[in-house]
Structure 1
Amino acid sequence: MPTILHVNASPRYANSDSLRLARHFIDSVQAAGPETFEVETLNLFDDGALPVFGRTAAAAKMAVFSGQDQTPEQIAAWEAAREVFDQFAAADAYVFNIPMWNNGVPYVLKQWIDIVTQPGWSFGFDPESGYKGLMEDKQALAIHTSGVYYPGIPANFGSDFGTTYFADWLNFVGVEDATHIRFAPTVLNADVEGSRQVAEADLSDAAIEFAGKLSAAGSLQLVND
């Protein structure tokens, strides 16, 4: 069964616009597909959702790449990081809901990205050709929400470094089939519900193509098996 990994980068849960839209999209994908897709949700702000990737894990990483033996503590830290990556790698498709924080992405999303973005795991490097993403033949949909910023707003009302950063990261790890949907229910937006309806309609439309590709990927897996 094709699997969707839903990465929730909001701590607001029932009060989260980005999470509400993500659930709308996932429901639309399930309704559009000829089969039921398995959905696994990773709530990044849940206690214990992510391991610490600090001094010990960094030393474990350098030990791997330099061919040195890891200490027991380093082995545990590296295996914990690998579990996070394995969850990422096992999915056929991704749904991300990302609220804007201080013109960028929430810190836990950056932590998750830094854990899974390891050489030999999600990307490779060649001295002649450079970097190459290894997460190929996967698709992603990212929902970006903001409370003040929206495209075209004067610069003194904020900037958007999060959307461009996240789109670049997806491309870096090889997820080139990515759709980005924005919802900006801002204090400067007089028609919040109207813009919500536009975002939901865009997500419903995107769900049809998303489900079709996911079903095709599942059929290909059956053939390969």
Structure 2
Amino acid sequence: MSHLLHLDSSARTDSFTRRLGEAFAEAWEGGGGEVTHRDLAADPVPPIREGWTRICDTLLREGITDIARYPEAVRTEQEREAWAVVRPLLDELVAADAVLIGAPMYNFGIPSALKAWIDQVTFPRMVLAPRKFVVVAARGGVYGPGTPRALRPQRPLPERLRPRPLRGRGHRGDRRRTRQLAGRPRPGRPGHPAPGVRRRRAVPGRRTGHQAGRLPHPEGGLSAVPWIWLLLAGVVEVAWAQSIEPTRGFTRLPQSALCLVLMLGAVYLLSRALRDLPVGTSYAVFTGIGTIGTVLTALAVRHEVPSPTTLAGLTLITAGLLTVHLGTPTP
């Protein structure tokens, strides 16, 4: 049975990271997996102290890299006190096949509670592969390249969530889902209220977030919902293109109204796809579907036969759309 360690670090009991994390954990349980939950905000981990640093010194000096041998480096009373804090945290981490981290952005960084947990479980030359790590991040603004808030401390946020052992030495499979413009959640939709650590059991027949198409499956499957929105936008764009000619220069009121409705519908569906897909990719696919669909519709309805050059161009556009789709990861 696959085992997920779910970490929450939001100071809010009702937050976007908690909601997304809860949906992911439910999907994991729905697939028959087991979940251990630790609320780092409700049950904070203490900061590292000198005993922890002395354990690290011993590990480095004696070349101990096997996690199972870490207790050999615990020798003094001070180190035993530090190990009493580390051991339950490390046991949870080692027992997990995947780790889900809910991390809001506070002051352009991760919450101090999460940073304390990372400090406690990270040791020199530690290897955590092949465990997978999923980061669910949220931030109350837009911080991408070219925006006024594109600050360097914020851009590598997911990297800062991963201690050095998670960034190299054969580690693979980390995923990230970021919610921007998160703001304050609407009332009436509780997040994960239970503090501390608890074990959940799968509930047969429960409709999970994965089944609803909202989040990546814990085993790596990806939602196709954004591409469905994009496909629908392209189809409506084709209908809109065909509705322009009957308006006769927008001199016919019913035909003109239909044309405007289709135009707005195509733009709305495209905006839904843009919530998760890159703008450049989405617009390229959107216009490509519109181009191919319009030519084929004109051929079927108006008997406008395209030239060989036009057919060659449509073939290249089709190949380009397939390449873009295969090369674009879905969040």
Pairwise CA distance, 1:171: 2.1
- The one-letter code of the counterpart of 1:17 is F
1:21 counterpart residue number = 20
Q: Say yes or no: does 1:111 pair with 2:107.
A: no
Pairwise CA distance, 1:17: 0.9
Q: Say yes or no: does 1:30 pair with 2:23.
A: no
CA contact (8 A) 1:60 1:75 kept: no
- Give deviations 1:99-125, integer Å, cap 9, x for gaps: 0112121112111111111025xx1xx
Pairwise CA distance, 1:157: 6.3
- The one-letter code of the counterpart of 1:110 is K
Q: Say yes or no: does 1:144 pair with 2:143.
A: no
Rounded Cα–Cα distance in structure 2 between residues aligned with 1:23 and 1:69: 36
- The one-letter code of the counterpart of 1:141 is V
**Any idea what SS the aligned residue of 1:40 has?**
strand
CA contact (8 A) 1:56 1:77 kept: yes
Rounded Cα–Cα distance in structure 2 between residues aligned with 1:7 and 1:171: 19
Number of residue pairs matched by the alignment: 184
RMSD over aligned CA atoms reads 3.2
Q: Say yes or no: does 1:160 pair with 2:155.
A: yes
Change (3 A) 1:116 1:167: closer
Pairwise CA distance, 1:26: 1.8
Change (3 A) 1:89 1:58: same
Q: Say yes or no: does 1:45 pair with 2:41.
A: yes
Rounded Cα–Cα distance in structure 2 between residues aligned with 1:203 and 1:96: 20
- The one-letter code of the counterpart of 1:40 is T
CA contact (8 A) 1:50 1:84 kept: no
CA contact (8 A) 1:140 1:175 kept: no
- Give deviations 1:65-107, integer Å, cap 9, x for gaps: 4468832122221242133112111111111111011212111
- The one-letter code of the counterpart of 2:132 is Q
Rounded Cα–Cα distance in structure 2 between residues aligned with 1:104 and 1:168: 14
Q: Say yes or no: does 1:101 pair with 2:111.
A: no
Moved more, 85-94 or 49-58: 49-58
CA contact (8 A) 2:51 2:81 kept: no
- Describe how 1:126-137 pairs up with structure 2 within 5 A: 134-137=127-130
Change (3 A) 1:40 1:174: farther
Pairwise CA distance, 1:38: 1.0
Q: Say yes or no: does 1:9 pair with 2:2.
A: no
- Describe how 1:186-205 pairs up with structure 2 within 5 A: 186=182, 204-205=214-215
Moved more, 108-117 or 163-172: 163-172
Moved segments of 4+, more than 4 Å: 63-69, 199-203
- Give deviations 1:126-148, integer Å, cap 9, x for gaps: xxxxxxxx211222221110012
Pairwise CA distance, 1:205: 4.9
Q: 1:92 aligns with which of 66, 88, 97?
A: 97
Larger radius of gyration: 2
Rounded Cα–Cα distance in structure 1 between residues aligned with 2:74 and 2:23: 47
Change (3 A) 1:168 1:55: closer
Structure 2, unpaired ranges of 5+: 63-72, 184-208, 223-331
**Any idea what SS the aligned residue of 1:183 has?**
strand
Rounded Cα–Cα distance in structure 2 between residues aligned with 1:184 and 1:63: 42
Rounded Cα–Cα distance in structure 1 between residues aligned with 2:162 and 2:53: 25
Pairwise CA distance, 1:29: 3.0
